[in-house]
Amino acid sequence: MKHDKHLTLGIETSCDETAVSVVADGREVLSNIISSQISIHTEFGGVVPEIASRRHLENINDVIDAALSEADVTLEDIDLIGVTYGPGLVGALLIGVAAAKSLAYACDIPLIGVNHMHGHIAANYLEHPDLEPPFMALVVSGGHTNIVNVPDYNRCEKIGGTRDDAAGEAFDKVARVIGLGYPGGPKVDKAAREGNRDAIDFKRVYLEPGSYDFSFSGLKTQALNYLNTEKQAGREINVNDVAASFQEAVVEVIADKAVNAALEFGQKRIVLAGGVASNTRLRELISEKAAAHGIDVLRPSPILCTDNGAMIASAAYYAYRAGERSGYDLDAVPGLEF
Amino acid sequence: MNILALETTGRYGSAAVINDEGMVWCADSVNEMNHLTDIISISDKAISLAGITKKDLTHVAASVGPGSFTGIRIGVTTARTLGQALGIPCIGVSSLEAMAYRVLEDASRNNADIVVPIINARRHQTYAGSWNVIFAMDAGILSLTELHEEKQYMIEELLGQLKETGSVIYFTGDGIDAYESIIRETLPQGSYILAGEDLRYQHAGAVAERALKYARAGRTVAYDDLMPEYMRLAEAEMRLKEGTLSDKIRRTIK
Ligand SMILES: Nc1ncnc2c1ncn2[C@@H]1O[C@H](COP(=O)(O)OP(=O)(O)OP(=O)(O)O)[C@@H](O)[C@H]1O
Ligand SMILES: [Mg+2]
């Protein structure tokens, strides 16, 4: 407690960001330190789990210190420790979990293990001080593409998910195929702004009628086939056009399904979460489609869309208020379900 | 002085507390490779067995490797963060060195000249080192001095170097479980001793004893300077160096 505010320290190390944050009363971000490894992994063309784990270990304690000092608090002021315990890379997750448990034990602070995906949704509580459940959430990230009904703070009901590649994964794969490199999402987004989204007819995969599931793995093959055909015909490839057309195929399906889900469940709000929620065209299209039905679309700012400790702190805070606690035997669960 | 020592580089994790007089209290994990789940409870148990509280700790030590990469990370991260939260310094101890000291008395009793801890790193690879057993007659004190440096050895290469010494060798570590038949084929009978299973594996008690020595010698570090000793680059780093980085090693985000 400091100045009568409940303080949560949130720790996130599920993939390639070592991130720690201090959040007051579950809503107010006092500090949000993110030490990214992107430049390291770029050298390898993707996240290398063993290297990510090594860097997390070297960084974690300094990032904790930085988060405390930027928030102008000490460990004694902290009332709750929240930490991502899954899903993610096991070697990366366990650094955060080991650190969180040690802090909780040494300073006698309650501990809460947070599902990373619930954290992504909670990022919206930080961005929108008045937002409260119920709402429909669309979680689109590097590893996940989920439509989730959120009836209250501590319930996340997944009503649809990807059957193969996640949306972010599709962006990353296609970006590599067309030579844009890693990380693919932001690069495709940028290139697409200069391209024609009707140039190439990428298939929209809606699956069975009424399904809220996704399938994006065919898009990479389609991109590869297109590039081959063009090459053989001796035609020059317009990367911007490929990016724009591919992107449109992904975001159109996502936007349609999210809006349909909100309508079916009677939700007046769609809340976006995850790295792909930063995508310019997705935001534009889903807002358009939702507005036609009187549905609001909310999203966190880009810094809260990517992995961060603040979203974990917020999710931990609401779990704590509902009476949840984790023990010192908290384990990392790489394949944690929604 | 009250030092908490963690050893999670082997199959079973353990924690120990050692005091000024060298008295040691230990707690062991009963489940294999359960380091992350058990680390706090075994630490807490060792602390209460010692009759102190966590606030009475003066140092946190960890076995920094070599050994299981995952285990190394759990022990080192826990030691670092306990040091950070309790405001006390850390001590890094080599897993191999602690293993060598763990068997020192037994080695001397068996008239061994050299102690060799071997950690199995699969496919004939090991992490190992060797130490000469020194007995100071006048003081009656046993100690070790390094003979072959701690590094990665192919088991055949290590045994070749040891054979040349013509000395009696005392082996310890889970490398025995993996390479016992190769040892038997390479070294003449009677020229080596294998540690019994009660002493063969990593244990926090031995780490605590080394840590006490280090603390007395002022060999402590700040929590964010405690570093793991993997003794091996990540596979992707090796491939990148060799220029053989393949798509198998590269992974997209997940
Ligand atoms: N502007 C953008 N357009 C499209 N995709 C984007 C954009 N910005 C980021 N991405 C994608 O978002 C993903 C990263 O998001 P995030 O950090 O939420 O995922 P993650 O944490 O790796 O995965 P998860 O949260 O599922 O474990 C990457 O695949 C990246 O390419
Ligand atoms: Mg994420």
Whether residues B181 and B234 fall in one domain = no
- Which residue's CA is the closest to the ligand 1 atom numbered 6? A185
Q: Which ligand is nearest to the CA of A87?
A: 1
Residue B246 is predicted with a pLDDT of 61
Is B85 within 8 Å of A107 when comparing Cβ atoms?
yes
Report the distance separating Cα A139 and Cα A175, nearest Å: 21
Report if residue B70 sits inside a domain. yes
Q: Report H helices in B187-254.
A: 204-216, 235-242
Chain segment B100-129, per-residue pLDDT in tens: 999 999 999 999 999 999 999 999 999 999
Whether residues B164 and B189 fall in one domain = yes
Minimum CA–CA partner of A181 in chain B:
B252
Average pLDDT estimate for A275-292: 96
Contact in structure between B26 and B16 (CB atoms under 8 Å): yes
Whether residues B115 and B190 fall in one domain = yes
Contact in structure between A257 and A212 (CB atoms under 8 Å): yes
Residue A318 has pLDDT above 80, yes or no: yes
Report if residue B247 sits inside a domain. no
Minimum CA–CA partner of A96 in chain B:
B77
Q: Which atom of ligand 1 is nearest to the CA of A143?
A: 26
Mutation target to probe the A interface, by most A beta carbons within 10 A, among B4, B60, B81 is: B81
Report yes or no on whether pTM surpasses 0.90: yes
Report if residue B251 sits inside a domain. no
Whether residues B85 and B15 fall in one domain = yes
Whether residues B38 and B11 fall in one domain = yes
Could you give the number of structural domains in chain B?
A: 2
Tell me the backbone φ, ψ of residue B191, rounded to 5 degrees.
-95, 5
Q: Which tokens is B139 given?
A: 């003081």
Average pLDDT estimate for A233-248: 96
Whether residues B111 and B152 fall in one domain = yes
> Which of A191-195, A331-335, B146-150, B241-245 bottoms out in mean pLDDT, i.e. has the lowest?
B241-245
Assess whether the C-beta atom of B253 lies below 6 angstroms from ligand 1. yes
Report the distance separating Cα A167 and Cα A144, nearest Å: 7
Q: Report H helices in B95-231.
A: 95-102, 104-109, 155-165, 175-186, 204-216
Whether residues B47 and B78 fall in one domain = yes
Q: Which tokens is B71 given?
A: 């285990």
Chain segment B218-245, per-residue pLDDT in tens: 999 999 999 999 999 988 888 877 777 6
Contact in structure between B27 and B47 (CB atoms under 8 Å): no
Mean pLDDT across chain A: 95
Report if residue B63 sits inside a domain. yes
Q: CA distances (Å), B204 to each of A260, A318, B8, B15, B209, in order?
A: 58, 39, 8, 5, 9
Q: How many contacts, defined by CB atoms under 8 Å, are there between A and B?
A: 127
Q: CA distances (Å), A61 to each of A65, A102, A262, B65, B159, in order?
A: 6, 11, 42, 20, 41
Q: Which atom of ligand 1 is nearest to the CA of A47?
A: 22
CA distance from start to end of chain B: 45
Residue A181 is predicted with a pLDDT of 86
Cβ neighbours of residue B207 closer than 8 Å, sequence gap 6 or more: B5, B6, B7, B16, B61, B62, B63, B93, B95, B98
Residue A151 is predicted with a pLDDT of 97
Q: Which ligand is nearest to the CA of A277?
A: 1
Residue type for A316, please?
A
Whether residues B80 and B119 fall in one domain = no
Q: Report H helices in chain A.
A: 38-42, 49-70, 90-107, 116-127, 167-177, 184-192, 217-232, 239-264, 280-291, 302-305, 309-321
Chain segment B63-85, per-residue pLDDT in tens: 999 999 999 999 999 999 999 99
Residue A177 β-bridge partners: none
Q: What is the CATH number of the domain that holds B41?
A: 3.30.420.40
Task: Give the rounded distance of the alpha carbon of A148 from its chain centre.
Answer: 13
Is A102 within 8 Å of B235 when comparing Cβ atoms?
no
Q: Which tokens is B108 given?
A: 């001397």
Average pLDDT estimate for A168-182: 91
Listed residues B162, B194, B226: the one ending a domain: B194
Report if residue B140 sits inside a domain. yes
Residue B247 has pLDDT above 70, yes or no: no
Assess whether the C-beta atom of A276 lies below 6 angstroms from ligand 1. yes
Q: State the smallest CA–CA distance between residue B28 and chain A in angstroms.
A: 15
- pLDDT bracket for residue B253 (50, 70, 90): very low
Cα torsion A132, A133, A136, A139: sign: positive
Average pLDDT estimate for A273-279: 93
Residue A60 has pLDDT above 80, yes or no: yes
Report if residue B16 sits inside a domain. yes
Assess whether the C-beta atom of A185 lies below 6 angstroms from ligand 1. yes
Q: B59 touching A, CB under 8 A? A: no
Report the distance separating Cα A145 and Cα A276, nearest Å: 9
Whether residues B210 and B184 fall in one domain = no
Chain segment A122-146, per-residue pLDDT in tens: 999 999 999 999 999 999 998 899 9
**Which burial class, exposed, middle or buried, applies to A117 when counting CB atoms under 10 A from its CB (0-12, 13-18, 19+)?**
buried
Report if residue B252 sits inside a domain. no
Residue B136 is predicted with a pLDDT of 86
Contacts of A105 in chain B (CB under 8 A): 40, 43-44, 54, 82
Mutation target to probe the A interface, by most A beta carbons within 10 A, among B33, B238, B248, B253 is: B253
Is B251 within 8 Å of A46 when comparing Cβ atoms?
yes
Q: State the smallest CA–CA distance between residue A116 and chain B in angstroms.
A: 14
Residue A6 is predicted with a pLDDT of 98
Residue B250 has pLDDT above 70, yes or no: no
Average pLDDT estimate for A212-229: 93
Q: Which residue has the higher pLDDT, B249 or B208?
A: B208
Residues across chain A: 338
Assess whether the C-beta atom of A183 lies below 6 angstroms from ligand 1. yes
Minimum CA–CA partner of A42 in chain B:
B250
Assess whether the C-beta atom of A186 lies below 6 angstroms from ligand 1. yes
Task: Give the rounded distance of the alpha carbon of A111 from its chain centre.
Answer: 22
Average pLDDT estimate for A241-253: 97
ipTM metric: 0.95
Residue B236 is predicted with a pLDDT of 82
User: What are chain A's domains?
Assistant: 7-127+305-321 (3.30.420.40), 135-301 (3.30.420.40)
Mean pLDDT across chain B: 95
Minimum CA–CA partner of B36 in chain A:
A331
Contacts of A95 in chain B (CB under 8 A): 73, 77
Residue A338 is predicted with a pLDDT of 87
Chain segment A70-113, per-residue pLDDT in tens: 999 999 999 999 999 999 999 999 999 999 999 999 999 999 99
Q: Residue A193: count other Cβ atoms within 10 Å of its Cβ.
A: 12
Residue B243 is predicted with a pLDDT of 76
- Which residue's CA is the closest to the ligand 1 atom numbered 4? A185
Find the domain containing B176 and state its range.
Answer: 104-194
Residue B166 has pLDDT above 80, yes or no: yes
- Which residue's CA is the closest to the ligand 1 atom numbered 17? A306
Report if residue B37 sits inside a domain. yes
Contacts of A167 in chain B (CB under 8 A): none
Whether residues B59 and B143 fall in one domain = no
Listing DSSP states for A80-142 in one string gives: EEEEEEESS-HHHHHHHHHHHHHHHHHHT--EEEEEHHHHHHHHHHHH-TT--S-EEEEEE-S
Whether residues B21 and B87 fall in one domain = yes
High-pLDDT (> 70) share of chain B, %: 96
Residue B241 is predicted with a pLDDT of 79
Residue B34 is predicted with a pLDDT of 95
Is B36 within 8 Å of A331 when comparing Cβ atoms?
yes
Report the distance separating Cα B137 and Cα B123, nearest Å: 42
Whether residues B61 and B184 fall in one domain = no
Tell me the backbone φ, ψ of residue A169, rounded to 5 degrees.
-60, -40
Chain segment A7-34, per-residue pLDDT in tens: 999 999 999 999 999 999 999 999 999 9
**Which burial class, exposed, middle or buried, applies to B114 when counting CB atoms under 10 A from its CB (0-12, 13-18, 19+)?**
buried
Average pLDDT estimate for A135-164: 95
Residue B252 has pLDDT above 50, yes or no: no
Report the distance separating Cα A170 and Cα A164, nearest Å: 10
Report the distance separating Cα A136 and Cα A265, nearest Å: 8
Residue B251 has pLDDT above 70, yes or no: no
Residue A23 is predicted with a pLDDT of 98
Q: Which H or E run contains B77?
A: helix B69-86
